[in-house]
Homo-oligomer: A and B are copies of this chain.
Amino acid sequence: MTSSAAIDNVLAQVDSGLERSLERLFELLRIKSISTDPAYAGECRKAADWLAAELTELGFAASARPTPGHPVVVAHGPEQAGPHVLFYAHYDVQPVDPLDLWDTDPFAPVIREKDGHKIIVARGASDDKGQMLTFIEACRAWKTATGALPLRISLLLEGEEESGGKNLPPFMREHAEELRADIALVCDTDMWDRQTPSITTMLRGLVAEEVEIAAADKDLHSGMFGNAAHNPNQVLAGIIASLRAPDGSVTLPGFYDDVAEIGPELKAQWEGLGFDEQAFLGAVGLSVPAGEAGRSVLEMLWARPTCEINGMSGGYTGDGFKTVIPARASAKISFRLVSGQDPDKIRAAFRTHVESLLPADCTVKFTPHGGSPAITVPADGIHLRRALSGLTAEWGRQAVITGSGGSIPVVGEFKSILDLDTLLIGFAQVDDQIHSPNEKYDLESFHRGIRSWVRVMGALAE
């Protein structure tokens, strides 16, 4: 039970404590917790320990738990009345290459001005360290202003979200009892726009696969063997090209079999959002939607599956030129899935398709990099309604319900392993350039994100 007076005190505490909150965020951003590169394992450990220490200081029973990969931070607040929420975020970040496209050191956070907004620039500023701290700093404000948290809170902070996250599900299974709660909160998504908060209820799934094509047992001279020997670069390019039809659809046999068209109601709601395709594409230097002909960008991103070539490499790629026919060529390929698609089925269809295109003398090696189904969060329920009201109160504008083209596998795991529904509440903006050079988080996202959580906690505790 929380009075609006209490909430006003906590919000005042957020405002007066913002400078220190920023200092803490900068501390965390300086830690190079790139989870996919084994060279940074120590930095991931450091980030986990930093978080455990911060949460302990806030009165949580917190610790960095070992896994076969990077640690998982688990923290429990004191037992009390009201719903028990499990908050999730991740402290690991994406690699920073190409480094030469960054204006500043990705791990030396700075505050800059962009289009009249103050922004925090650093790898992880938005995805997901900045978002994670909006919740932790909201807890701090409650604790400081009222001496207690308004409801029972546990946190689960992982360090492998950007690298397949294969160690979290077993950890969740092993500690299912300890992690039981009434609802999960995840802070890893966007606002609808600068003024409009949103709760995401649809997430695409992901199948990530590495494929390596090999032909000759050694690199060859293209003059001595060119024409007579298969070139893995050529073979791989043919396979990749075959994955998309001229109309932009994915050609994998059966790829769309389990994909349902979105209903007229949802379609109408999305059209009501007034999404500006030109502005969305224009923000990254594009003007014409790619992908499936005849579908809106919003539909393509939220309700249609895709296939993307995330990496491609073969032969000599350094300075100058080398007339070589490489022995191998490889690609990192991912499929974004929508409700109904089975990751295992899609992975199998992909492998069968690739094998069907292999010429004589060529072999293929597949390396899976994680997979998860798309999920849809029930668009009703008291927690969702209360969270929407808290966000609406902070931003003075009706919070909306949206989908997301991204994948947050943990949401599916909360459902399947802990039987938890998830509220996806985030304050990122579409121009945050997450996974790209010059990643940023609006200072306003950080400040009002903290204020938003203060209100959402209060609303959930009512």
Would A317 and B336 count as touching, CB distance under 8 A?
Answer: no
Would A310 and B297 count as touching, CB distance under 8 A?
Answer: no
| CA distance in complex: A308, B314 (Å) | 12
The interface centre, meaning the residue of A291, A316, A334, A361 with most chain B CB atoms within 10 A of its CB, is A316
Chain B's closest residue to A309 (CB) is B233
Chain B nearest CB from A455 CB (Å) reads 27
| CA distance in complex: A317, B309 (Å) | 11
Q: Which of A49-57, A216-224, A412-420 binds B?
A: A216-224
The residues of B that contact A430 with a CB separation of less than 8 Å are 224
Q: Is there a chain B Cβ closer than 8 Å to A404's Cβ? A: yes
Tell me whether A163 and B321 are in contact in the complex, defined as CB-CB below 8 angstroms, given that A285-B217, A433-B218 are known contacts: yes
| CA distance in complex: A243, B36 (Å) | 35
| CA distance in complex: A430, B404 (Å) | 56
Q: Is there a chain B Cβ closer than 8 Å to A175's Cβ? A: no
| CA distance in complex: A272, B148 (Å) | 94
Q: Is there a chain B Cβ closer than 8 Å to A381's Cβ? A: no
Chain B's closest residue to A217 (CB) is B285
Which listed residue, B231, B281, B320, touches A229 by the CB 8 Å rule?
A: B281
Would B223 and A406 count as touching, CB distance under 8 A?
Answer: yes
| CA distance in complex: A242, B287 (Å) | 25
The residues of B that contact A433 with a CB separation of less than 8 Å are 218
Residues in A247-306 with C-beta less than 8 Å from chain B:
248, 280-281, 284-292, 297, 300-301, 304, 306
Which listed residue, B95, B229, B310, B336, touches A227 by the CB 8 Å rule?
A: B336
| CA distance in complex: A238, B238 (Å) | 7
Would B336 and A289 count as touching, CB distance under 8 A?
Answer: no
Q: Is there a chain B Cβ closer than 8 Å to A311's Cβ? A: yes
| CA distance in complex: A192, B224 (Å) | 13
| CA distance in complex: A289, B228 (Å) | 5
Would A336 and B97 count as touching, CB distance under 8 A?
Answer: no
Tell me whether A218 and B37 are in contact in the complex, defined as CB-CB below 8 angstroms, given that A164-B321, A234-B240, A291-B228 are known contacts: no
Which listed residue, B216, B218, B285, B316, touches A311 by the CB 8 Å rule?
A: B316
Chain B nearest CB from A252 CB (Å) reads 14
Q: Is there a chain B Cβ closer than 8 Å to A237's Cβ? A: yes
Chain B's closest residue to A319 (CB) is B37
Chain B nearest CB from A284 CB (Å) reads 4
Would A311 and B319 count as touching, CB distance under 8 A?
Answer: no
Question: Please, could you name 7 A-B residue pairs with CB atoms under 8 Å apart, sorted by A?
Answer: A208-B323, A215-B286, A219-B436, A221-B436, A227-B300, A227-B405, A229-B290
Chain A residues packing against B (C-beta within 8 Å): 35-38, 94-95, 97-98, 101, 162-164, 204, 206, 208, 210, 215-231, 233-234, 236-238, 240-244, 248, 280-281, 284-292, 297, 300-301, 304, 306, 308-326, 329-332, 334, 336, 359-361, 369-370, 404-407, 430, 433-438
